[in-house]
Amino acid sequence: MTSPLKKIVATQVVAGMYVRKIEGNWLDHPFWRGSFLVEPGETLVTLRALGQQGVWIDTSKGLDLASGPVTPSAAPVIETTPEPSPERSDFGDDYAAAEAIRERAKGVAKSLFGEARMGKALSMDAAAEVVDEINEVIARNPAAMLSVVRLKNKDDYTYLHSVAVAALMIALGKRLGYEGEALKEFGVAGLLHDIGKVGISDAVLNKPGRLSPLELATVRQHPQVGWDILSRESAAGPMALDVALHHHEKTDGTGYPHRLSGDALSEVARMGAICDVYDAITSERCYKPGWEPAEAIRRMAEWQEGHFDRRIFHVFVKLIGIYPTGTLVRLASQRLAVVLVQGNGSALNPIVRLICTLPERARLEPETLDLEDSDDRIVAIEDPAHWDLDVPALLRA
């Protein structure tokens, strides 16, 4: 009897096959389940973008390779429902607008924290207004807003982290199918999630290395302190209270302060946990450099069991992409490019803007290239500092 397991290459995969294993490392294939039935749509498109990578199929559980050579062109055309993407020429305008809103929002966050520190009522109107602005840019161009909040200076961390979590919550909520007022509530919840940190001294907040048991206990009080502050604000709303109190809970019940798990943990608290961790680990702090988004997503995927809600995390990964906006990449053609937006196909093939040739660094016309429709592909992530490049300036252009 012949084995039902057969090795083919990724471009030969069709809907209806049962995949047992994909060869290569995690970053090359963003599939978490060990084995699965291939359905038409996005998964199939992403899978086939792996090109000549080996894929083991189980022919006892799904379709076998059709007799005769299967070429990519012989395979069915896959219809996907693309996210509306902005006109490419507008990207620079949206990026500049997003930068201005980030600065305004940072100012509002600073005032809110100042008010909380002094025990004053919070300017909830200002919070709602700036969340509206963030929401508008995200409706037009989520990639622009998410890329500007990623770049933060370590001194402004607390305020910009609040703005970043607000933007991530709105963009994630939108991907989960929410609209209108719900998105604004997610945004306010993100902006205020760490307001309880006003109870922690800067020396403890910025301390490199391990916290003493007493310091750790103080840090772990910030969700409750935040809830106390927000419970005095009638305009804060239930979502903001929930996220402030429960953004450090984990799905397996090992988080704090209430060790919640299962149904006790609301969807918005699960969203908050993911957005908070992602922004914290991709940010540079006084005591650590930030991780690249791709590295952060990879580590979070390792931790997801028990820490994050699996379904929401998968939606989050689709939102951020494997190569988020602003990532500097080297192409197989030995050209340097910056990622502009996620394309409508594979997460491995975003839309990029060309910068220069390597290693000569001959300047290229800033042409926009959709890697999904190109023979070229990303072979490495590059460090902007190494090439002395100002990524925001490249995106603003």
Binding site for Fe ion (CB under 5 A): 194, 276
Nearer to Fe ion by C-beta: 244 or 339? 244
Closer residue to Fe ion in complex, CB, 63/281: 281
- Residue 65 CB, nearest approach to Fe ion (Å): 49
Min. distance of Cβ 180 from Fe ion in angstroms?
Answer: 25
Give least dist CB 276 to Fe ion, A: 4
- Taking the least distance from each CB to Fe ion, the nearer of 72 and 114 is 114
User: Residue 8 pairs with which residues in a beta bridge?
Assistant: 55
Tokens of 140: 């037009």
Strand extents, DSSP E, the chain: 5-9, 18-22, 36-37, 54-58, 328-331, 335-341, 351-357, 368-370, 378-382
Q: CB 158 → Fe ion: shortest distance, Å?
A: 9
CB of 194 to Fe ion, least distance (A): 4
Which of 94/276 has CB closer to Fe ion?
A: 276
Name residues whose C-beta falls within 8 Å of residue 289's C-beta, 6 or more positions apart in sequence.
Answer: none
**Nearest approach, Cβ of residue 121 and Fe ion (Å):** 22
Say how far apart CA 395 and CA 95 lie, in whole Å: 7
Smallest distance, Fe ion to C-beta of residue 376, A? 38
Nearer to Fe ion, 126 or 281 (CB): 281
Neighbours of 91 (CB within 10 A): 23
* Cα 270 from Cα 257, distance rounded (Å): 14
Cα–Cα nearest to 194, from 156, 215, 225 = 225
* Whole-angstrom Cα Rg for the chain: 23
Burial 360-387 (b: 16+ CB within 10 A, else e): eeeeeeeeebbbeeeebebeebbebeee
> Which residue, 139 or 281, has its beta carbon nearer to Fe ion?
281
The Cα 48–Cα 65 span in angstroms is 14
> How far apart are alpha carbons 205 and 202 in whole angstroms?
5
Nearest to Fe ion of 115, 194 (CB atom): 194
